[in-house]
A and B are shown apart, each in its own frame.
Chain A
Amino acid sequence: MSTSERRGRETATIETAQTGIADGRGMAPASASPAEMAQAAQEKAQVREVIEQKAGGGVSLVAEGVNAWYGSTHAIKDVSMTFRANEVTALIGPSGCGKSTFLRCLNRMHEVLAGARVEGKILIDGQDIYGKGVDSVRVRRHIGMVFQKPNPFPMMSIYDNVIAGLKLNGIRKRKSEMDETVEHSLRGAALWNEVKDKLKESGASLSGGQQQRLCIARTIAVEPEVVLMDEPCSALDPISTYKIEELIGELKQKYTIAIVTHNMQQASRVADWTSFMLAGDAGYGQLVEYGRTEQIFTQPQDKRTEDYITGRFG
């Protein structure tokens, strides 16, 4: 499938989803007024505009034989897979199979925990992030992360939350530039309209869904190449979930995205590629199957995958 084809299909998917709103089906709000719909459309246009302004696109991320341990516990074994540039890859599997662990290996967050250890290679644009002389801090600037539980910085304003990552880079931008970035990022996270009048308020004063979008805004404000998301919607209501799913669909034009989810529908809605992980009797998690999303969901090659997606276990 060529890129243009894929693009077309995705647009179609999104439009289907949108039609869903009008139909009152699926995730969409049941009683959207015309005004609300107009606003949603406007927001979407804003997001697209922001995305298109980003210099450069995503880059591919390749995991080769990744093993991870917590102390002496072997959590994942020999996972190899590719996160293709400007595409969304979903990680699915039963609880405890090592999805989060693997995701955290991808931007060197795993090693932050005491006693945690990683082996294997992860190549971003051909460079091993675990290679010699690589600074984990720099890695994380290129590979951003959104967590399961929204974690805005409560002592900072919304404004400061967004530029938190920028301040770290030590770049002293002028106020006007900062303002621009804040607006830009919040538009990119489809949050601008909701918060533009209260940028000075605490990041904790937002709803859970808004907080998660704030975290996305914070992540894209530093313009990484890859965005990792660990169950970003699990703590959110359907409307917020819908908004974020939509956002993911837009973001992938310029970012490479990996998303962990327990929600099969979500995986099928947002992901181009899906990988299924499973912890065997030995305790450690392994990659069972990896392929295009529709293939995994319609004709899985592995019996275990089939059992899982049909809800027969897990």
Chain B
Amino acid sequence: MGLMTLLLAFTFVLTACGGGATPTTGGTTSSAAPSAAPSTAASTAPSAAPSTVASAAPSTAASAAPSTAAGGSATRTTAPATTTSAAGGTSSTATRAVATATRTGSATAVGTAGSANATPNTSINITGPFSGEANTLNGAGATFPQVLYSKWFDEYSKVTNVKVNYQGTGSGAGKNAIRDQTVDFAGSDSPMSDAELAAAQAKCGDTIQHIPTTLGAIVVSYNLPNVSQKLKMDGDVIAGIFLEQIKKWNDPKIAALNPGVNLPNEDIITVHRSDSSGTTDNFTSYLTAVSQAWANGPKSGSTVQWPGGIGASGNPGVANEIKNNPYAIGYVELAFAKQNNLSYADVKNSAGQFVTANAASVTAAGQSAAERAPADLRFKLVNAPGAQSYPITAITWILVCPKQTDQAKAVALTRMLWWATHSGQQFAEGLDYSPLPPAIVVRAEAFINNITVNGQKAFPGR
């Protein structure tokens, strides 16, 4: 509750400062980084589009903001997120988004300057069996990277004889699991909030680390029998559909973007996640960034108030519902759409281009990641700048406690993390994910090296 009050106070200050141009008190929400102000201020410079969470926290604000502005995401540039969230008043979701941005910005200030050009350490080759390492690891969480993780852990057991179990329970359940330390690691594509981090301190004894593992595209996938052309959609249309304001497939707004496509006069059946999900968090962050109606309505979060539609559990659940229901539409990680042979729309990005989701367009969106990722690597990539960037790109993490207590487990865990962020990256593209930008890998290395077990460095370096 105290946090809520602070956030509220924060938004009021923003309003008072006229359009939120100078949120000098930004750092108040973050216990970790009180020196946030300068970079946040930069990110909310007039005419920028700070509503994209990703662009809200550039380390080099000067370059990020103009590129977004130049991209001219038509409907959005005039409505800075800060104004929106202030208008939203009591919305903790909106305020939390801002808080993340602030926190992110502040972390950036602590600095990764220069690391953008660093290259990953390729001299370490993880093999096994390794004496003294646990032979099983248990993880749970996000279903978004599940396709890749399955491949990884299969490969990894061949390389090291370590069996890694991963349960796709959704990011929300994953975050709870790492908080309660019922797993060795969690998967999530929704970063933990400050409150969640604080809650997790109790069992871990330190701040949970976000180790990025891969990038992926969230596609707007649909089941339209007898329509063979790929549909085109923009933020307004997607938001309209999921707000159930666009009810029919042949709605003029959809038709306008898809001339020549014979759209059926059928009810649109929307499908969304029923569990607490990072995919939802990224998808709704995107919608919040691009649609005023969405920003005023459901907003962003791992769970939101859907105006209707079918709820399904996990990416596989949503993919199944789309597959089984003609005229359905939903959002899933690209790999799930491909696996199930589902169609998915080209989405208009902030540069006004309709972009197909694939490894290249995700990689393009990831270009900006290195510059904008904060020190703790909690950030989102949606609505990234760049003509080739796919706009609903998400980053996913493995969450670990940096203060391990079980020697064998800690060794196994750090070796697995190293392998995943290095050798594992080669599997991404084949499965429709994108490898991490090298600069991010370098920073992940630092995280892995910082993991301790009973005060000693856990990673054996091989």
Q: Indicate if A touches B (C-beta under 8 A).
A: no
Q: Which residues of B are in contact with A by a Cβ distance under 8 Å?
A: none
Q: Which residues of A are in contact with B by a Cβ distance under 8 Å?
A: none
